């Protein structure tokens, strides 16, 4: 029975990992589109004295998309900004304690991400129904609901990734390699 559960967790983890990677790719595409918008604005300003109207709004809109599209993959590969030096150090001498602490951190993180998803869902529904927008009418406007949806989906996927980290067996402790110094 335990083996079947681990297979199920592994299959779900593979699906969550692929979804997180796809979201990261989408976030990277948003970064590239943002580069194009900013470059277009600079060129249009300099050579045609006609800046891209709404460039500031586009930058604000895309920054949120970039962060939340890439967040699940950051969680997946354990690259969140944090200090886990203590866990690495005790991981060699007390791997079970280190793994237990990691599981607690992942569980708490799953709770926080689920709270974000729960909190943003009503905002998404409201923006979907009202078709509320941000920006300056006549200059540039964009609906709010895509941002709220991306935040919800990102938080939900992060929750799943964190829960799966708790359910998976603990990884082997990392080996600490001292940085190499060159004598000159």
Q: Provide the number of structural domains found in the chain.
A: 1
What pLDDT does residue 15 have?
A: 95
Q: Assess if residue 180 is contained within a domain.
A: no
Distances (CA, A) of 10 to 92, 142, 167, 172: 26, 39, 10, 17
Q: Record the pTM.
A: 0.84
Asked whether residue 149 is domain-assigned, the answer is yes
Looking at residue 121, its pLDDT comes to 98
Structural domain of residue 141, as residue ranges?
2-167
Q: Residue 179's pLDDT is what?
A: 43
Which of these, 157, 166, 171, 46, lies nearest to 106 by C-alpha position? 166
Q: Give the span between the Cα atoms of 182 and 184, in whole angstroms.
A: 6
pLDDT, residue 104, reads 93
Rg of the chain's alpha carbons, rounded to an integer? 21
Q: What is the pLDDT of residues 12-58, one digit of tens each?
A: 999 999 999 999 999 999 999 999 999 999 999 999 998 888 888 88
Between helices 55-76 and 2-48, what is the axis angle to 10°?
Answer: 160
Does some domain include residue 147?
A: yes
Q: Is 69 inside any structural domain?
A: yes
* Residues whose CB falls within 8 Å of the CB of residue 32, separated by 6 or more in sequence, listed in order: none
Query: What per-residue confidence (pLDDT) applies to 142?
Result: 87
163 occurs within a structural domain = yes
154 inside domain: yes
Is 183 a member of any domain?
no
Please give the average pLDDT of every successive group of 10 residues along the chain, which has 184 residues. 85 95 97 95 92 88 94 92 80 89 93 98 96 86 93 98 88 48 49
Tell me how far apart the alpha carbons of residues 142 and 133 are, in angstroms, rounded to a whole number: 5
**Residue 7, domain member (yes or no):** yes
């Amino acid at each position: 029975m335990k083996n079947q559960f681990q297979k199920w967790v592994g299959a779900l983890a593979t699906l969550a990992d692929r979804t997180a990677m796809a979201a990261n790719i989408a976030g990277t595409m948003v970064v590239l589109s943002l580069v194009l918008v900013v470059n277009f604005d600079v060129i249009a300003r300099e050579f045609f004295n006609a800046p891209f109207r709404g460039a500031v709004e586009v930058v604000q809109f895309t920054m949120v998309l970039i962060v939340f599209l890439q967040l699940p993959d950051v969680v997946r590969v354990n690259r969140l900004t944090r200090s886990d030096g203590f866990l690495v150090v005790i991981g060699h001498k007390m791997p079970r304690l280190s793994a237990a602490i990691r599981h607690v951190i992942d569980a708490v993180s799953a709770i926080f991400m689920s709270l974000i998803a729960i909190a943003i869902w009503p905002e998404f529904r409201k923006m979907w129904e009202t078709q509320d927008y941000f920006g300056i009418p006549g200059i540039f406007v964009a609906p709010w609901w895509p941002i709220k949806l991306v935040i919800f989906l990102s938080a939900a996927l992060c929750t799943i990734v964190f829960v799966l980290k708790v359910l998976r067996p603990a990884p082997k402790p990392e080996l600490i390699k001292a940085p190499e110094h060159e004598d000159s």
